[in-house]
Amino acid sequence: MCSRRSSNCGCRPLKVTVRTPMKAISPRPIQADEVAVLEAALLGAPPGSISPDWVADLRSLIVVGICECGCRSLYFSPTGAKDRPIATSVGRTPSGKFVEVMIWVAADRVSALDIVDYESSGELPAVDTIR
């Protein structure tokens, strides 16, 4: 049974330890809906694992890459060997698709918002569904 919801939620264990391949894009500011997903996902992080500076910096993040698969994963720095996941959660897109949400850090900064989208919906999860 899933510890986040019921036995019917469709969750799989979150055991991803490698970021997906990044496609570099022209840098752009993070959008408000992307910040909202980051904030909701950070609520699921273990106590003490989140730096207050990371939360304060969310609105100033610059997107430098996207996932090659077409999901809504965002990269705020190039991928590297020292990247590590600090928060994992699950959610549903507005069209009802199940997604996993992971926040990655590197060099004491949020480095990626990873949306594991098994159905390739290309949507961000609805903020109120992130658990």
Structure confidence by residue, pLDDT tens digits, 37-62: 999 999 877 777 888 888 888 999 99
Distance CA 113, CA 46 (A): 17
Closest CA to 16 of 120, 98, 122, 100: 100
**Cα 108–chain centre separation:** 16
pLDDT at 8: 38
Q: Can you tell me the distance from the alpha carbon of 102 to that of 42, in angstroms, rounded to the nearest whole number?
A: 9
Cα(24)–Cα(17) distance, integer angstroms: 21
Q: Which pTM value belongs to this model?
A: 0.81
What token pair was written down for 81?
């060997």
